[in-house]
Amino acid sequence: MRILVTGANGQVGYELLRALAEKHIPLGPPSQAKGEENHPLPAEERGRAHPLPQEGGRAAGAGGCTPPREIIPATRSGRLEGGTSCEAIDLADFDGLTKALDRIAPDLIINAAAYTAVDRAEDEPELAQRINGDALGVLGAWAKQNDARVVHYSTDYVFDGSATRTYREIDATHPVSVYGRSKLAGEDALRDSGARHLILRTAWVYAARGQNFLRTMLRLGAERDALRVVDDQIGAPTPARLIAEVTARAIAQWSTPPSTGRGGATANARAAPMRSIGGMPTLDGTYHLVASGQTSWCGFARAIFERAQRTGLIERAPVVHAIGTADYPTKATRPAFSVLDTTKLRDAFGIDLPDWQAALDGVIGELALGQ
């Protein structure tokens, strides 16, 4: 099995390479990064350590041997962090994308690449649509024709944020930004392609590396005595490493014949209704993947500073003042409430997801160990 990971330098892509390597999947040589924070910064500025998901008590790997696997990383530049060569894949270049897929011939495509500049997307709707939306039709069509599978990451931004309870996969979507509409278009294009797929919606992603809310807060907290952070947008902060770990476990089950493995019909009797392909049940479909619990950006910032001070990452914690979204205008509208219900994922794959605060403890611990 050859697994192609696009966006390998991004937060999730980087952690995917690490998570898959920990499962002893070799990193293959190449056959010959665009991003921006999607969260509100404080009003003053624009511009392994965490708990792993638990496997619900069921035995892993039942039913036979796992086939050999090889990971093929790809980035837009053709270079991994540190300068190592890898495949060069630009989702905006459909002809180049198809040629790369023909050359690499992956059995599984994990698409961790995306246009993530939420505010800039309002000024570049065609590019956002091309990368986040239309490219998934190209990936899906190739996968369908070549009997491959696709794992794709989507977002809480497909919802408008007006709900009063956690969003389920079957709830009506209504994105209120160009970014959200482009991501929903990608979901639809992949589903319409007829390819075997998993769509994993996640939210409020952060990590110990890269450009994200956690690292921005730590930088500003070391510079300032006080910050103002939005307190009326609610979600579930989710580490990229958690997303990668869950993905690795999910695809291991998804690749197992349903009659023999953990991903089988018997093992997943409690799961939400599964699609049927060739008369056999399958785990294909859309799932929500976030840490448990919920908080606001302001609550997340305060939790970051409390832990950072306790572990010595910063000398003192700044005062965090709560403000409303109206006090921090942005070009793109953010969902006011975007907590995702993960029941379907937990039931289907037997994975327990940590609380967002426990997950944060782990990421802070990772940073403290590396300081």
Spatial CA neighbour of 289 closest among 130, 149, 107, 151: 151
User: Which residues are catalytic, by number?
Assistant: 179
So what's the pLDDT on residue 348?
A: 96
Instruction: State residue 283's pLDDT score.
Output: 94
pLDDT of amino acid 207: 97
SS3 state at 356: helix
Q: Is the residue at 125 inside a domain?
A: yes
CA–CA separation, 131 and 117 (whole Å): 12
Q: Which burial class, exposed, middle or buried, applies to 124 when counting CB atoms under 10 A from its CB (0-12, 13-18, 19+)?
A: middle
In 3D, which of 160, 165, 164, 139 has the Cα closest to residue 150? 139
* CB-based burial label for 93 (10 Å; 0-12, 13-18, 19+): middle
Residue 331 lies in a domain: no
> Contact 274/283 with Cβ under 8 angstroms?
yes
Q: What is the pLDDT of residue 275?
A: 59
Assigned domain for 332 exists: no
- Evaluate whether residue 221 is within a structural domain: no
What is the full per-residue pLDDT of the chain (371 aa) written as tens digits?
899 999 999 999 999 999 998 865 555 555 543 334 444 444 444 333 334 444 443 333 333 344 567 999 999 999 999 899 999 999 999 999 999 999 999 999 999 999 999 999 999 999 999 999 999 999 999 999 999 999 999 999 999 999 999 999 999 999 999 999 999 999 999 999 999 999 999 999 999 999 999 999 999 999 999 999 999 999 999 999 999 999 999 999 997 755 444 444 334 434 444 555 555 568 999 999 999 999 999 999 999 999 999 999 999 999 999 999 999 999 999 999 999 999 999 999 999 999 999 999 999 999 998 85
We report the CATH number of the domain holding residue 283 as: 3.40.50.720
Query: Is the residue at 224 inside a domain?
Result: no
Q: Is residue 79 part of a domain?
A: yes
Helices (H), ranges, the chain: 11-22, 94-104, 125-128, 135-145, 178-193, 213-223, 240-254, 297-310, 343-349, 356-370
pLDDT given at position 282? 84
- The per-residue pLDDT for 21 is 87
Residue-range definition of the domain harbouring residue 202: 2-41+50-209+240-292+340-354
pTM above 0.85, yes or no: yes
Residue 270 lies in a domain: yes
> Residue 312 falls within a domain, yes or no?
no
C-alpha span between 305 and 359 (Å, rounded): 15
Q: How many structural domains is the chain composed of?
A: 1
